[in-house]
């Protein structure tokens, strides 16, 4: 995503250079005391009373300080406020469980299958299926039971679209409330292996499934 240029207001003096970005919701500021490799940055949230500092730091160049501010703004404020156009992919790129940076923008508004590391049971990962959204540095998955699972991105092992035929755990059939999943049956699933190898079937009379109904 191409980023829109930030409307910085620049002020210069013999001792200080300052760039300020002020909106109804926050004020971002970058300061340089004349050193070529020291740029301090700060973001103050103005939506509460009193205003609060939500992020601050120091970088060795202006571009780095600006990126820190843009990532914070892009991930902290709702999409409908419009600040993501300045942040671009910084707003939607996260470090997942495997230390790989992934831009999750392609999954926004899609039904997804997310495999999640479970701290309570590290030997068995969780699988969560539902509608994908991002909010405040967290992944939100809304299931068909209208529950919302909030997941730190660093716990996500794998993510894929639910109806992508190239993936192994795709939901391949849905007739009424009978559901067939293309994956091996595992202990704890309240469904049963299907007649096709590598499938699991849930009938309407099945109990709540901790594997597929999370």
Nearest to 40 by CA among 62, 23, 24, 25: 62
Domain range list for the chain: 9-91, 95-161, 168-214
pLDDT at position 29, please? 98
Considering the domain 95-161 in this protein, what is its CATH number? 2.30.30.100
Helix (H, G, I), strand (E, B) or coil at 176: coil
pLDDT at position 200, please? 84
The overall pTM is greater than 0.75:
no
| Distance (Å, whole) CA 87 – CA 102 | 15
pLDDT at position 122, please? 80
Using CB atoms within 10 Å of the CB of residue 46, give its burial: 0 to 12 exposed, 13 to 18 middle, 19+ buried.
middle
pLDDT at position 214, please? 66
pLDDT tens digits in sequence order for the chain, 214 residues long: 578 999 999 999 888 999 999 999 999 999 998 767 899 999 999 999 899 999 999 999 999 999 999 999 999 998 889 999 999 999 999 999 989 899 999 999 888 889 999 888 888 888 888 899 998 899 999 987 778 999 999 999 999 887 654 444 444 444 445 677 888 888 888 888 766 667 788 876 677 788 887 6
**46: which 2 tokens?**
């103005």
pLDDT at position 98, please? 86
């Amino acid at each position: 995503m191409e980023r829109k240029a930030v409307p910085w207001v620049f002020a210069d003096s013999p001792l200080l250079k300052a760039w300020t970005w002020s909106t109804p919701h926050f004020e971002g500021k970058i300061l340089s005391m004349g050193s070529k490799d020291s740029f301090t940055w700060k973001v103050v949230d103005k939506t509460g009373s009193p205003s609060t500092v939500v992020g601050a730091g120091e970088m060795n160049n202006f571009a780095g300080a600006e990126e820190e501010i843009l990532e914070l703004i892009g991930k902290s404020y709702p999409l409908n406020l419009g600040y993501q156009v300045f942040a671009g992919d910084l707003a939607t790129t996260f470090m997942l469980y495997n230390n790989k940076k992934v831009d999750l923008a392609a999954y926004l508004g899609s039904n997804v299958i997310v495999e999640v590391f479970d701290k309570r049971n590290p030997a068995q990962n969780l699988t969560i299926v539902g509608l994908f959204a991002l909010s405040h540095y967290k992944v939100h998955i809304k299931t068909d039971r209208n529950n919302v699972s909030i997941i730190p991105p660093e716990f996500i092992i794998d993510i894929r679209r639910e109806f992508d035929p190239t993936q192994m755990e795709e939901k391949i059939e849905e007739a009424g409330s009978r559901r067939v999943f293309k994956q091996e049956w595992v202990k704890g699933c309240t469904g049963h292996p299907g007649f096709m190898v590598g499938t699991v079937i849930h009938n309407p009379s099945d109990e709540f499934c901790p594997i597929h109904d999370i």
